[in-house]
Amino acid sequence: MPAVDKLLLEEALQDSPQTRSLLSVFEEDAGTLTEYTNQLLQAMQRVYGAQNEMCLATQQLSKQLLAYEKQHFALGKGDEEVISTLHYFSKVVDELNILHSELAKQLADTMVLPIIQFREKDLTEVSTLKDLFGLASNEHDVSMAKYSRLPKRKENEKLKAEVAKEVANARRKQHLSSLQYYCALNALQYRKRVAMMEPMLGYTRGQINFFKKGAEMFSKRMDRFLSSVSDMVQR
Amino acid sequence: MPAVDKLLLEEALQDSPQTRSLLSVFEEDAGTLTEYTNQLLQAMQRVYGAQNEMCLATQQLSKQLLAYEKQHFALGKGDEEVISTLHYFSKVVDELNILHSELAKQLADTMVLPIIQFREKDLTEVSTLKDLFGLASNEHDVSMAKYSRLPKRKENEKLKAEVAKEVANARRKQHLSSLQYYCALNALQYRKRVAMMEPMLGYTRGQINFFKKGAEMFSKRMDRFLSSVSDMVQR
């Protein structure tokens, strides 16, 4: 593991084998990070998906409890008690559904979104700049080869000067794209840590909020209701 | 809606049109109940499924957080902080996973199981006894028809006696199966109310337990950890 934490921009122009070797280390790191980020995103989207499904499931359950009343049972004697109890349970499920929906929204905004943005912005930027740097390097190599193949005769001075200008242009372009690429790779090292921790901060805060509100929701009032239903069931 | 709440067993032998008409009301009620129970079970299984998926999703997330350490990043400088933070988050997710698993088990045992048992035991019993009662009634009708088609001549006395015995047997069998069928239909009216309320009692108690334990889990200690991570992210 090299004892460096950034690519030096002043090395970009010289483009030495040492700098290229260090660059490849940063590129390998970015590759590993991209792969890991995709897996982490997948795991987080699964959690979000489960939370979302819980919202839909509690919605369906609440509706189904209310639907008891609309069944028009041929024998409805004594059903008033069942209907009012299921209505109450449906309200409980509705209140829970609000908490579940709030949690799902929080997970989307503070867990899934930051890591998607990290992938779409930071990782994609590195990958794009890598391609541009590759293209500029190729262009530079091509113009260098052209220059070295020029015949050494005097009458070619004008052509030589033209190709030399082309080489200089290509080098400038490569230099510029390497500066941008180095900057993005350095920034990635900096962003990486935050990008890994921020979504879990969102996840945990969402859970804390969810449990706090849930615990408040189930007050003593509900204890009385539940023991009266429990008595009914045991009768 | 008839002002009765049970089929009288003493009416079963006479099997009058009035009794048959009342029986059809009970049968209609049982049919509606079967349909509603199936829909309620489906909604409850969806909630259980979502809870189960949440267990699997949090398990995967916890593993993925631990996997950061094993990525062998080419540039690992300063990663110790990320690794230890993700370890801590992984423990939080593990603890949550325990609560999610406990809730999933409670939903399976106290919500889904009682309603499955109601369907498999009570509703299926009524449906089976209905079929048996139908068969016995047919048999009785067939032997009655056979008796009425007998020629009225004296020399048939022996045959007549035999068929009369057959009719008596068929009537006894039909009477017995109607008694069982009436009993099951009466019992269903009694069980119905409990069967509708019991699973929701299990659901609600499971949620209360879940929120109580969750709120306890996120103690002051975690507040400190989260604000230190939050500081790191903002730095």
CB atoms B211 and A211 under 8 Å = yes
For residues A189 and A29, the answer to whether their CB atoms sit within 8 Å is yes
Taking residues B104-132, what's their average pLDDT? 97
DSSP assignment string, chain B: --S-SS--GGGTTT--HHHHHHHHHHHHHHHHHHHHHHHHHHHHHHHHHHHHHHHHHHHHHHHHHHGGGGG--S--TTHHHHHHHHHHHHHHHHHHHHHHHHHHHHHIIIIIHHHHHIIIIIIHHHHHHHHHHHHHHHHHHHHHHHHHTS---GGGHHHHHHHHHHHHHHHHHHHHHHHHHHHHHHHHHHHHHHHHHHHHHHHHHHHHHHHHHHHHHS-HHHHHHHHHHHHHHH-
Mean pLDDT along residues B64-78: 90
Comparing B8 with A221, the larger pLDDT belongs to B8
- Does the pLDDT at position A1 exceed 60? no
Interchain contact, B208 vs A222, CB within 8 Å: yes
Helix (H) or strand (E) holding A65: helix A17-66
Nearest CA among B21, B84, B54, B16 for reference residue B232: B84
Q: ipTM more than 0.95?
A: no
Largest CA distance in chain A: 114
Give the residue from chain A lying closest to B190, CA to CA.
A78
Contact between chains at B47 and A57 (C-beta distance less than 8 A)? yes
pLDDT in tens, B160-202: 888 999 999 999 999 999 999 999 999 999 899 899 999 999 9
A150 band by pLDDT with thresholds 50, 70 and 90: confident
For residue B1, pLDDT beyond 80: no
Instruction: Assess whether pLDDT exceeds 90 at residue A174.
Output: yes
Most confidently predicted of A96-105, A147-156, A208-217: A96-105
CB pairs under 8 A between A and B: 212
**Dihedral sign computed on CA atoms, order A44, A49, A50, A54:** positive
**Separation CA B189–CA A149 (nearest Å):** 100
More confident residue, B157 or B205: B205
Lowest-confidence region among A13-17, A131-135, B16-20, B209-213:
A13-17
The confidence score (pLDDT) of residue A4 equals 65
Of B85, B201, B214, the CB nearest to A211: B214
Model confidence, pTM:
0.90
Q: Confidence band (pLDDT; 50, 70, 90) for B3?
A: low
Minimum-distance CB partner of B54 among A54, A56, A201:
A54
Distance of alpha carbon B118 from alpha carbon A67, whole angstroms: 19
Residue A77 pLDDT greater than 80, yes or no = no
- The pLDDT value given to residue A152: 75
CA distance B106 to chain A (A): 16
The average pLDDT across A150-160 equals 79
User: What are the C-alpha distances in Å from A46 to residues B30, B57, B95?
Assistant: 41, 6, 18
> Helix crossing, A157-217 with B157-217: angle to 10°?
110
Residue A52 has pLDDT above 50, yes or no: yes
pLDDT at B190: 87
Instruction: Band the pLDDT of B42: cuts 50, 70, 90.
Output: very high
User: What's the mean pLDDT in B124-147?
Assistant: 94
User: Mutate which of A75, A190, A211, A226 to test chain B, going by most B C-beta atoms within 10 A?
Assistant: A75
Across A2-28, average pLDDT: 85
